[in-house]
Amino acid sequence: MRILIVFGTTEGHTREICQFAARALREAGHTATVEEVSTDGSDMRLSAYDGLVLAGSLHVARYQPTLTRFAQAHAAELDDKPNAFISVSLSAAGENPDDWEGLEQSLARFEHETGWTPRRVLQAAGAIRYSQYDFFKRLAIKHIAARRGRETETSRDYDLTDYDAVRAFVLDFAAMAAPGGGERPQRSATLTRKESDGR
Shortest Cβ 77–ligand FMN spacing (Å): 24
Instruction: Rule CB under 6 A: choose which of 1, 4, 6, 141 binds ligand FMN.
Output: 141
192 binding ligand FMN? (CB under 6 A): no
Candidate segments 69-77, 123-131, 148-156, 175-183, binder of ligand FMN by CB under 6 A: 123-131
Buried/exposed code over 119-150 (b: 16+ C-beta within 10 A; e: otherwise): bbbbbbbbbbbbeebeeeebeebbeebeebeb
CA distances from 121 to 48, 131, 155, 196 (A): 22, 29, 33, 9
Binding mask 14-33 for ligand FMN (x = CB under 6 A): x-------------------
Sort strands 31-36 and 51-57 into parallel, antiparallel or unpaired: unpaired
> Between residues 31 and 96, which has the closer beta carbon with respect to ligand FMN?
96
Shortest Cβ 19–ligand FMN spacing (Å): 12
Instruction: Rule CB under 6 A: choose which of 23, 137, 148, 150 binds ligand FMN.
Output: 137
124 binding ligand FMN? (CB under 6 A): no
Instruction: Rule CB under 6 A: choose which of 9, 117, 123, 192 binds ligand FMN.
Output: 9
For 126, what's the count of Cα atoms within 13 Å in the CB-facing half-sphere? 25
> Between residues 50 and 157, which has the closer beta carbon with respect to ligand FMN?
157
Shortest Cβ 88–ligand FMN spacing (Å): 5
65 binding ligand FMN? (CB under 6 A): no
Instruction: Rule CB under 6 A: choose which of 41, 82, 118, 126 binds ligand FMN.
Output: 126
Q: Interface residues with ligand FMN (CB under 6 A)?
A: 9-14, 57-61, 88-91, 126-128, 133, 137, 141
